[in-house]
Structure 1
Amino acid sequence: MAAILPLYPYNPLLYFSTPSSFRSQFWILERRRLGSASLKNLVKLAAHSNPRILKSNRKSKYGEALLFYDSDEEMDDDVSDDDEDDDWLSDEEFSEPANLDVNNNKRFKSKTTKGKDRQQEWEWGLRSFDNKQSIRLPRSERVASLQRNESGKHSRNVKDKKYPRLSEEIPLDVKWLPLLDYLSTFGMKESHFVQMYERRMQSLQINVCSAQERLEYLLSVGVKQSDVRRILLRQPQILEYTVENNLKSRVAFLRGLGIPNSRIGQIIAAAPSLFSYSVENSLKPTVRYLIEEVGIKEKDLGKVIQLSPQILVQRIDISWNTRSMFLTKELGAPRDSIVKMVTKHPQLLHYSIDDGLLPRINFLRSIGMKNSDIVKVLTSLTQVLSLSLEENLKPKYLYLVNELNNEVQSLTKYPMYLSLSLDQRIRPRHRFLVSLKKAPKGPFPLGSLVPTDECFCQQWAGTSLDRYLAFRQRLLLKKFAEKYERKM
């Protein structure tokens, strides 16, 4: 064994990578065979401690410069001090505290060199398998380093396995995984995370604990869990808003408008962007404009916002001015009628003039209504402006004149007719009274369509509610079968 050792340059990493039990047995056997003095010479020869023998530019197979000492005496001192100790290469030497050099590498100090002011340092090298750079660590931290490397690889594998599409489409950071896992509990998919990233990349960098605190607060004020996904897709910044400085102040603002707690969650779900508006500089000025300029009564303000939460986050001055001017010019509508329209149906301020308001006004004109009649209908039932022309208004008008034998003027008295369901309300009640032979021969009374099903059966049909509901069910099934046959 002694003859073999001098053939290879000494490398601490190669030596200390062998099992500790083998090292101990080796040195015990060599000490008994050679004696203490011979063993000392063997160590000196194997380590090439003499700088005159070792070339300064020689490197180990791991790329590390081979260290040497200033003189033979230095090595003698270091070895002879522990010469009689059988455990001089125990693990305890590697568990002592180490200083950090300028590169944050750990190193161990040997005894002070005789006759010199500086200290000789012993460095044991370990190559990092990730960055191929030499890291000087005690053995107790080498395993931890390798474990961190393996942990990083494991995290990357988990990232690619759990979110393969997301990893391909965006530069996914493994630090985002806890947040993504939490948001997935609200039904968020990879495609949703891509949308969030495109709208607001920073929203995916939020600490999961902070995000959980904010979403739990929203749930506590009435937001439904099923609405969280829609809120995050529309307003991912909401994850960045703090509870104390942002969320609570906006909720308090809504409550101050007279909005009941039971409706707070619905308003947030409908207009989550309100959290990005300043209470003092934006939300309150909008409310003042609705009261002072539009003319909405303060007692009606809460109802208006419940009907259309978006009214808080739009340029209300532009919306109001353009639509009020249009209705005044197109129909001659007085201001108080327009205010009533907005109070009953504030969504009016969101509708397009060319694609929404004007086509429906022209339809009412086409069936024989005058501008004054249209103003009456819109003031009483402003949501007519939200109904589909082809699937709602036109079929109801045709049924009115062809089946119910009514004139168009009857709509000014019963504008609610236009808001009722043709399949669920108008046709079943008409056909039921006809089947009972209780329908009048002249124009069908539109008043019979207004009350509830129970009142209709008592006042108009004179029969039980169950009988009417069974009749309506058969009629609906027949209608469905006819539509299915037409599609086939």
Structure 2
Amino acid sequence: MAVCSFYPLNPNLLSFSDYLVLSHHSQAYLSVRKGSVRVRVLSTHSNAKILKPNRKSRYGHTFDDTDDDWLLPDEFAEPVDFEVDGKKRVNLQKKTSPREGFQGMINASSLKENFVLAGDHRPFKVRTSNKSREKSRFKNSTKEADSSGINRQGKLMTGKSTEDRYPKLSEEINLDKKWIPLLDYLSTFGLKESHFIQIYERHMPSLQINVCSAQERLEYLQSIGVKHRDIKRILLRQPQILEYTVESNLKSHVAFLMGLGIPNSRIGQIIAAAPSLFSYSVENSLKPTVRYLVEEVGIDDKILGKVVQLSPQILVQRIDISWNTRYLFLSKELGASRDSVVKMVTKHPQLLHYSIDDGFLPRINFLRSIGMHNSDILKVLTSLTQVLSLSLEDNLKPKYLYLINELRNEVQSLTKYPMYLSLSLDQRIRPRHRFLVALKKAPKGPFPLSSFVPTDESFCQQWAGTSLDKYLAFRQQLLLKEFAKKYERRG
């Protein structure tokens, strides 16, 4: 049996104020590390600020580089019960009463450390018994040498102790030698000691899984299209996936996705993007979310599969709140009709994740500042909703300045060709403009934005009247010059 496990809590050891802190959360688990014991408490309240500042999307906008766990369960979401190695187990995300939920998690008689609660960082002591026996058990478990493991080819290897093979991990936690075969197997997916510490803190029981069971589950995921390189990312975000049995859990969720019309070739990508969907009950959470999208939002069920492919997280977020707040905002701010907002969600469902204060408003206000009216902004957003994901400084502003100063166009031209805002300034807009100018084939007056729409080959045939190779060589030379200018400015 593993040294570290969940311990039932004696509520009598909690102060009244500490109990109040616990009672306002519905998810928690224990994280035991050498020298400290932490109760990790996960709030189920909505995150008011979804769009964070340090990760860029494919369109240049910024997001927080976190996993999809901030996408909180919807009002009717009920996390699924799952089986662990043939035994029924209740998902720790399932809602329980404070006393009932914590009673089965922490055994205060086995602890001799301090607890630190999220939201209340005042430490409080826990009375313990049999201290000497507990101390001896932890000490012996960490010093016991491990004589077997599994290399990348699945063969046994011997001769290294637990501390020698995983020194940093042994320093951080009370490492059970029985975990070593699983750690060796997971290492074949690129996980390192620092990643195991993250998994331990996030969901320690995942490291207690039998290596054969873990291999069965990960091989199944790969068989349905999950890439080998994505396994590490999935495990860091949703380590509980090691506990979900193939027959009782994984296959039912895959069947649900296929039932939405999602092709087999895209299943693996959706799982990699939103692995937490396995922790949600198909019947009590995922299907009600789908019904809400169809019946309340108004998305055509025939294209629902395409919407999910664009944003898999839509299945695991608080969809009712996300939809209502953004619909009400757009209707009040821009006079958007319900049909217009439904079109936006259908084309770019990611907008349901964007913050109103940090995502919607800054971009709408920028478009207003350059002279666009609400009706014009609504046309642009309905046609090209991903404008709400574009970076102001790195995308929208530079393209607007190039439109006015270089292309000699009016801002109103964007309502007819909003796609201009989604095109790359360096790779598409500037090279084509400069190429036609160099060939002396640039039209007089405002430069036509329609010339940026076709493919490179069509552009050369219709506008430049020259070969594709000649244009590509010109673009490459221009990119090198622009790079040199940026390098000089930085220097």
Identical positions, percent: 83
Aligned mate of 1:187, from 173, 177, 190 = 190
Matched, 1:253 2:238: no
Q: Hey, what does 1:345 align to over in structure 2?
A: 348
Contact 2:404–2:410 (Cα < 8 Å) also in 1: yes
- In structure 2, the residue matched to 1:411 is 414
Instruction: Give me the whole-angstrom Cα distance separating, in 2, the residues matched to 1:355 and 1:151.
Output: 53
1:402 aligns with 2:428: no
Structure 2 residue aligned with 1:291, among 289, 294, 302? 294
- Residues 172-211 of structure 1: pairs in structure 2 closer than 5 A: 172-211=175-214
Partner of 1:421: 424
Partner of 1:219: 222
Equivalence map 1:451-462=2 (5 Å): 451-462=454-465
- Of 388, 391, 394, the match for 2:394: 391
**Structure 2 contact 260–304 (Cα < 8 Å) conserved:** yes
- 2-side partners of 1:203 and 1:384: how far apart? 40
The structure that has the greater radius of gyration is 1
Structure 2 counterparts to residues 83-162 of structure 1, below 5 A: 152=145, 154=147, 157-162=160-165
In 2: Cα distance, 1:433 partner to 1:224 partner: 43
- The 5 A counterparts of 1:38-57 are none
Counterpart contact for 2:344–2:382, Cα < 8 Å: yes
Question: In the alignment, does 2:240 pair up with 1:237?
Answer: yes
Mapped to 1, the partners of 2:222 and 2:147 lie a distance apart of 34
C-alpha displacement at 1:159, in angstroms?
1.1
Question: In structure 2, what is the Cα distance between the partners aligned to 1:417 and 1:340?
Answer: 20
1:448 maps to which residue? 451
State the SS of the aligned residue for 2:302. helix
Match of 1:125?
Answer: none
Task: Tell me which amino acid in the other structure corresponds to 1:341.
Answer: M
| The structure with more helix, counted as a fraction of residues | 1
Contact 2:144 2:162 in 1 (8 A): no
Matched, 1:438 2:421: no
8 Å contact 2:230–2:272 — kept in the other structure? yes
Mean Cα deviation higher: 421-430 or 438-447:
438-447
Deviation (angstroms), 1:154: 4.9
TM-score, normalised relative to structure 1: 0.69
Residue ranges of structure 1 left out of the alignment (5+ in a row): 1-130, 132-149
User: Displacement of 1:158 after TM fit?
Assistant: 2.0
Q: Distance in 1 between matches of 2:324 and 2:174?
A: 46
For 1:435, the aligned partner's letter is: A
Q: CA deviation at 1:260?
A: 0.3
Deviations 1:253-272 (A, max 9, x none): 00000000010000000000
Whole-Å separation in 1 of the counterparts to 2:328 and 2:480: 47
CA spacing shift, 1:328–1:152, aligned 2, 3 Å: same
Match of 1:264 among 264, 267, 271: 267
Matched, 1:379 2:408: no
Q: Is the 8 A contact 2:144 2:177 kept in 1?
A: no
Structure 2 partner of 1:44: none
1:48-91 residue CA offsets vs partner (Å, 9 max, x unmatched):
xxxxxxxxxxxxxxxxxxxxxxxxxxxxxxxxxxxxxxxxxxxx
Which residue is equivalent to 2:12? none
Residue number in structure 2 paired with 1:303: 306
Deviation per residue, 1:386-419 (Å, 9 max, x gap): 0000000000000000000000000000000000
**Residue matched to 1:321:** 324
Give the SS at the match of 1:418: helix
* The one of 358, 361, 371 aligned to 2:361: 358
**Which residue identity is paired with 2:403?**
L
Q: Aligned letter for 1:231?
A: I
Secondary structure of the 1:299 match is coil
Aligned to 1:282: 285
Paired residue type of 1:366? S
**CA 1:435 to 1:201, structure 2 compared with 1: closer, same or farther past 3 Å?**
same
- After superposition, the CA RMSD in angstroms is 1.4
Give 3-state SS (helix, strand or coil) of 1:463's partner: coil
Higher relative contact order (CA 8 A, sep 6+): 2
Verify: 1:367 aligned to 2:367, yes or no.
no
Q: CA offset at residue 300 of structure 1?
A: 1.2
User: 1:416-472 CA deviation, whole Å, 9 max, x = no partner?
Assistant: 000000000000000000000000120001000000000000000000000000000
Per the normalisation by structure 2, the TM-score is 0.68
Mapped partners of 2:444, 2:405: distance in 1: 13
Cα deviation digits, residues 160-211 of structure 1 (max 9, x gap)? 1111000000111111110000000000011000000000000000000000
Please say if residues 234 and 275 of structure 2, whose CA atoms lie closer than 8 Å, have aligned partners that are also in contact.
yes
**8 Å contact from structure 2 (residues 145, 162) kept in 1:** no
Q: Distance in 2 between matches of 1:152 and 1:378?
A: 62
Deviation at 1:151, TM superposition (A): 8.6
Q: How many residues align?
A: 340
Check if 1:331 corresponds to 2:328. no
Query: What is residue 90 of structure 1 aligned with on the other side?
Result: none
Quick one: which amino acid aligns to residue 464 of structure 1?
Answer: S
Q: Distance in 1 between matches of 2:432 and 2:181?
A: 56
Structure 1: distance between partners of 2:428 and 2:168: 48
